[in-house]
Structure formats: structure tokens, C-alpha cells
A and B are shown apart, each in its own frame.
Chain A
Amino acid sequence: MSRVHTTPWSALRLAVVAAGISLLAACAGPQSYVALLPSPDGSLGKVVVQGQRGEQLLTRAQQGALLDGSKPPFDVSNEQLQRDFGAAMRARPIMPEQFLLYFETGGLELTADSKALLQRIVERALARTSVDMSVIGHSDTQGAADANEALALQRATAIAEQLRGLGLGNTVMAIESHGERNLLVPTPDDTPEPRNRRVEITLR
């Protein structure tokens, strides 16, 4: 059996260590927390924290909350953000970019404007260090849903082929059809609408 003797010397050492720890904690700022920032497009949303010790709502930019929800929200300085998240923010990939291509009625023929856009899409894709893309075909509501599903897939496939031919032969492409289920402009059934006859390209 051993006993711990608290000599003045060890008490002093303990005090120094304790002071050091609290100083460190003060420098490190909040330990586990979340902070709200505006999106790259400038819009600001909200963040909700449901913690073990409470719930907090963040609605202002650079407002933070402990992840256990135990304290009211607090402001987080730029310096703090840089210290805690500089590396993560620098690693953030370029935000995805979207293009819309439109078609003449019923077939696979692009409108003249959209044809001209193809080369630009290729250039933008090649400017990214690592790109994957989705090519999603859509139709308007004119005709049967099944036929539109197939037509939209044909459109997406045709565009993907053209992009491959223009220099994106090695790019990962997810080709899909949303048929008439995902209208850009809401219309009743059996309505021709040029803006719904489209292929959506997203570069990531």
C-alpha cells in the first residue's frame, strides 16, 4: 500500500500544471464546436445542433455553438476559424458547375445556342484537375411517359457521346434519364415546353 504525500513542492508543481492546462484550454478556444458560414454563392442558411446537453440554433454568419449544445451561441473570430479550419477550407474542391442544353421538338437535335455551348463545357471540364460529370436527360410532357423516359435517355446518351468525342473520352460520366418526372417549368400533361426538353450537365 502506498500513500501520496503532498509536499509543498509537489503542490506547487500541481498548481503550475493546472495553470498550464487552463491556459492551453483558453488558447485553444472552444473544443468541439460548429460554426455557421455563408455558402460560396453568398446565401446563408441555418445550423441546428442537437447535443447531449441541449439544442442550439445558429442563424448568423460566424456564429458558433458547442456540439454538446450546452451553451448559447457565441461569435467565432476570423483568427479562430483560420486556426481551426484553415487546412480544411483550403482543401475545399472547386464548387460544381451546371449547364443546360436544349433540344428541338421530339428528337436529338440541339438548338443552335446549345450546340455552341458544347465546346465551352469541354473546356470547363478540362480545367478541373479531377472531374466527374452527370448527364441527365429530361423531356417535356408531350406524349407518353414511357416514350419520354426513353427519349430523355437517348438525349443524354447522345450528348455524352458528343462530349467524349470533343475531348472528354476519359471522364467518368453518370448518364441518367428523368423523363418527364423532373420538369424545369411545371406544365400539365401533354404540353410541349422547350425549356423542359433539356440535358443537364454538372461538372464536379
Chain B
Amino acid sequence: MRHHQQNILRVLAVGMLVAMGAAQSASAQSATAATPQTPSTAVGYVKTVTGEAWVTTAGQRAKAVPGTAIQIGSQLKTLADASLGITFKDNTVMAFGPDTELTVDQYLYAPAQGQLQLGASLLKGSLNYVSGVIAKLKPEAVTVKTPTGIIGVRGTQFVAKVEDVQ
């Protein structure tokens, strides 16, 4: 199990480096330079799953299980009757109901350097968000984009629903 996860992480990590833009790659590396002991590109982990949910990072699709790594660029997807909960490194919590798609666009957590950013896109479905350290230290650094508007957070919990437009 553990080896399997590590292999997935390795594949994802290599894919990420290829896929990420130069600027993003540089910032992500500086943000995690002090943590060589861990998979340096993981910005969060799956904690809860019911039903069928998927995490796609750099073209690699993996079925979500507790412990699946979330990285910058990861696309999260729940199918009908499924749900998913993740916790980010800064203690931000996000949970999703059925038929939901969310992408992690930006994530930067290096409080000692003042580098803080959390950007996500909710394409459809339902989201339950609880603020972590990023929103506490730098509220304007947290944004959740939706097809019709952008949600900004000032340290709190919220729920958001996006009806499928297709």
C-alpha cells in the first residue's frame, strides 16, 4: 500500500515538474525547499472518500483514497453519490458533495517567508470550505473561482454550489 502510494507520488511529482510553468515551479520549490523528507510537491491529502472520486494530476488519474496526495494543478472529481474531503498543509479543509469538479490552481504556503496563496476553481457541484492558516494570515490570498463569480474569504467557513451549465 505504502509503496504503491509512493510510486504514484513519484510519477505525479515527475509529471508535475514537466507540466508546471517555470515560474510556478520555482516558487513551489522555494516554498518546500525546507522539507526534503516528504513528497515535496504534495500540498494536501485526501482524508475522506465515499463512493467513486478521482484525483488527476499532470494527466495521471488516480482513484481517490485516504492518503492520496493533492498537488498544484490537481483536478478533483466526485461521481454521482460520491463525496470527498481533503486537508491542505495550512489546515484549510475542503469537502465536496456528489458530481463536483474542483481544480487546485495555486498553492503557496511558506509563512516564515510570507509566501501565501490558495486559488481554486469550482467548476460544478458543491463545496464546503473551512479556512486554514493562509486565510488567517493573508485573507486576500484565498480565492475560489466559479463560472460566474469569484469567492473571496475573510477567515471563515462557507458552502458554495455551482449548477452544471452544460
Give the B-binding residues of A (Cβ under 8 A). Answer: 31-40, 43-52, 58, 66-69, 81, 84-96, 129-130, 132, 134, 153, 160, 170, 172-179, 181-182, 202, 204
Contact = CB atoms under 8 A, between A and B. Distances in A.
Nearest to A67: B149
Interface of B: 2, 34-35, 37-39, 45-50, 66-67, 83-87, 89, 91, 93, 95-98, 100, 111-112, 126-128, 130-132, 135, 139, 146-163
A39 B84 CA distance: 19
Contact of A37 (B83, B84, B96, B158): B158
Contact of B85 (A86, A93, A96, A132): A93
30 contacts: A31-B161, A35-B158, A36-B157, A37-B158, A45-B154, A46-B155, A48-B153, A50-B149, A50-B150, A58-B158, A66-B149, A84-B97, A85-B161, A89-B95, A89-B128, A90-B83, A91-B83, A91-B95, A92-B93, A93-B85, A94-B47, A130-B45, A130-B46, A130-B67, A160-B37, A173-B38, A175-B38, A178-B112, A202-B91, A204-B89
B153 A49 contact: no
Nearest to A37: B157
Contact of A130 (B50, B66, B158): B66
B140 to A, nearest CB: 10
Given A40-B157, A175-B38, 17 more contacts: A37-B157, A39-B155, A45-B139, A47-B154, A48-B153, A50-B149, A50-B150, A51-B150, A66-B149, A84-B97, A84-B161, A85-B161, A88-B97, A94-B47, A95-B130, A132-B87, A204-B87
A93 B158 contact: no
Contacts of A84: 97, 126, 159, 161
Nearest to B155: A45
A91 B148 contact: no
B35 A175 contact: yes
B27 to A, nearest CB: 17
A91 B67 CA distance: 15
B95 A92 contact: yes
Contacts of B112: 178-179, 181-182
Nearest to B92: A96
Given A85-B126, A88-B96, A134-B89, A49 B151 contact: yes
B150 A174 contact: no
